[in-house]
Chain A
Amino acid sequence: MHEHLEPKLDTLLAAYRQACPDPEPGADFMPRLWSRIEARQSIPFAMLRLGRVFVSASAALCLAMVLLLLSPVSQTSAPSISYVEALSISDPHQVMAYADVETDNGDSLWK
Chain B
Amino acid sequence: MLIDFGLIERAKEGDSAAFNEVVKVYRKRILGTIARLIGRPEDVEDVAQEVFLRLYYSLDQLRAPEVFEPWLYRLTVNAAYDYMRRQRRRPESRMADLSEQQVQMADADAGGRHRDEEQRRAGVREFVQSLLSKVSEEDRILLTLKEVEGLSLKELEAVYRVNENALKVRLFRARQRVLKAFAALQDHPAKTDESE
Q: Give A contacts to B, CB under 8 Å.
A: 1-2, 5-6, 8-13, 15-26, 29-30, 32-33, 36-37, 40
Q: Contact at B128–A25, with CB atoms within 8 Å? A: no
Chain A facing B: main interface SS: helix
Q: Could you list 9 examples of A-B contacts with CB < 8 Å?
A: A1-B180, A2-B176, A2-B180, A5-B182, A8-B182, A19-B121, A23-B28, A32-B45, A33-B52
Q: How far is the CA of A11 from the CA of B111 in the complex (A)?
A: 8
Interface-facing stretch out of B5-13, B29-37, B160-168 = B29-37
Contact partners of B176 in chain A: CB under 8 A = 1-2
Contact partners of B175 in chain A: CB under 8 A = 9
Residue of A nearest to B27 (CB): A25
Contact partners of B106 in chain A: CB under 8 A = 12
B27 to chain A, nearest CB (A): 5
Q: How far is the CA of A9 from the CA of B120 in the complex (A)?
A: 16
Contact partners of A16 in chain B: CB under 8 A = 36, 124-125, 128, 148
Residue of B nearest to A17 (CB): B148
Contact partners of A30 in chain B: CB under 8 A = 20, 23-24
Q: How far is the CA of A10 from the CA of B44 in the complex (A)?
A: 25
Among A2, A12, A22, contact of B35 (Cβ-Cβ < 8 Å): A22
Q: Contact at A32–B28, with CB atoms within 8 Å? A: no
Q: Contact at B28–A25, with CB atoms within 8 Å? A: yes
B119 to chain A, nearest CB (A): 11
A1 to chain B, nearest CB (A): 8
Q: How far is the CA of A14 from the CA of B186 in the complex (A)?
A: 19
With known contacts A13-B128, A13-B148, A36-B49, A20–B32 Cβ distance under 8 A: yes
A76 to chain B, nearest CB (A): 58
Q: Contact at B23–A33, with CB atoms within 8 Å? A: yes
B178 contacts the other chain (CB 8 A): yes
A101 to chain B, nearest CB (A): 86
Q: How far is the CA of A5 from the CA of B177 in the complex (A)?
A: 12
B176 to chain A, nearest CB (A): 8
